[in-house]
Amino acid sequence: MNILDTGLGSIEAQLWQIMFLSIRCGAALMAAPMVGGTAVPPPVRILLSIVLGFFIATWVPLPPAPDMMSFGAVLAVLHEVVVGLALGFVLQLAFAIPLIAAEQISGTMGLAIATSIDPSSGAQSGALGTFFGLILSLLFYAVGAHLLWYELLIESYRLLPAGEFGFGAWQAKNVVMFMGYGLATAAAIALPVVLVLLLVQVVTGLISRSAPSLNLFALGLPAGVAAGIAALIIALPVMTEQFRGVIETALEQSEGLLRGTPDG
């Protein structure tokens, strides 16, 4: 435990140390989906980052912060912002995976016009995407992944101390590769339902060719929606396991960003 000096002579240096340590936490909280949305006001996020910075300054052994008015301090602050944004952005990508899968399913079902307000971002999103996002959020908190992420954020000061430059090009490459993983996972999540809907569309097309007098739109849209809902109910347990895998991979990817070398 680091005992902070309560004398007035060093209070400026201690305040600078706490503010410097809270930069990475603030950037991560701004980018993370848990508290980075419109539901949490910015003053609350700033206060939480300062509290985390005070906790880290008290309990985590760290090298001294660079001089406040030096050029090295400016570079160190930019480095801390990049590290924090990277940790939060990985989670943002993970939470975007079910939204991409939901858009694929909604477009095939004919529910692309059914939109609602996303509670995390405040923007309009598909109804199915909001449903998938709520499932992932509940699962994220249920398995304790938020606690693991906060623990990783604090441990990042041990793995990558504040003021020491260790975030290289290969970490940025890993973030880009995680985006590719997200697209592939979204396609895998939507694949069972999309295949069922494709089969329904083929059957509907055959029926319309054999009986041209039937109204294709009156027959195809309700059949597609009913088949899509039935496929979602059947595939939901598998999707839940895939969501759990997305959470685990996102945490592993966040931890990999803090390694000193690509090989770990």
Cα–Cα distance measured from residue 56 to residue 17, given in angstroms and rounded to the nearest whole number? 10
Rounded CA Rg of the chain: 24
Among 153, 137, 160, 165, smallest CA distance to 247 is for 137
For residue 239, what are its two tokens? 């999707």
Burial class (CB within 10 angstroms; exposed 0-12, middle 13-18, buried 19+) of 193: buried
Q: What is the pLDDT of residues 53-97, one digit of tens each?
A: 888 888 877 777 777 777 778 888 888 888 888 888 888 889 889
Q: Provide the token pair at 93.
A: 């990508």
pLDDT tens sequence across 200-243: 888 877 777 776 666 666 666 777 788 888 888 898 889 999 99
In a domain, 261, yes or no: no
In a domain, 216, yes or no: yes
Helix, strand or coil for residue 113?
A: coil
How many domains in the chain?
1
Residue 73 lies in a domain: yes
Does 4 map to a domain?
no
Residue 5 lies in a domain: no
Q: How far is CA 14 from CA 18, 21, 134, 158, 179, in A?
A: 6, 11, 41, 19, 39
Nearest to 90 by CA among 259, 246, 260: 246
Tens of pLDDT, residue by residue over 24-64, are 888 888 888 877 666 777 788 888 888 888 888 888 777 77
The model carries a pTM of 0.80
Per the CB < 8 A criterion, the answer to whether 228 and 108 are in contact is yes
Q: In this structure, is residue 6 part of a structural domain?
A: no
Structural domain containing residue 25: 11-256
Taking only the tens place, the pLDDT of each residue in 120-149 is 555 666 778 888 888 898 899 998 888 888
Share of the chain above pLDDT 90, in %: 8
